[in-house]
Amino acid sequence: MKTLQQCLEELATERPLQPDEYLDPKTGLPRCKRCHSPRRIRKSLFGRERLLPIACKCQQNGDSSGKKNTKKQEK
Ligand SMILES: [Zn+2]
């Protein structure tokens, strides 16, 4: 059984940049190429700094694929 910490560790595992992301030169954090919102945030967890994935604006709007999804998805 996984501990909460293990789950968070997995979440925070470094991932390569996605094709629609770029690194913000100021913060070094990935941002979305389309909406320019951060895709990662820095959080201190268990005494260590980690990058946690977050949804950028277009992902929050359900538009992460870049193309129009079929309309069946409501929420
Ligand atoms: Zn975006």
- pLDDT digit string, tens, across residues 32-53: 999 999 999 988 888 888 888 8
CA 72–ligand 1 middle distance (angstroms): 21
Q: Which residues lie closer than 8 Å to 27 by C-beta, 6 or more apart? A: 38, 42
Protein residues with C-beta less than 5 angstroms from the ion ligand 1: 32, 34-35, 56, 58
Question: Which pLDDT band, with edges at 50, 70 and 90, does 9 fall under?
Answer: confident
The Å distance, Cα 42 to ligand 1 centre, comes to 18
pTM of the model: 0.62
> What is the rounded CA–CA span in Å between residue 33 and residue 56?
10
Please state, in angstroms and as integers, the Cα–Cα distance from residue 28 to each residue in 40, 70, 72, 73, 75, following that order: 10, 35, 37, 33, 32
Domain ranges, ordered by start, for the chain: 9-59
Give the C-alpha separation, 49 to 69, whole Å.
Answer: 36
From the CA of 30, how far away is ligand 1's center (Å)? Answer: 11
Q: Which pLDDT belongs to residue 45?
A: 83
* 26 close to 42: Cβ distance less than 8 angstroms: no
Percentage of residues in the chain with pLDDT exceeding 70?
Answer: 77
pLDDT of residue 15: 72
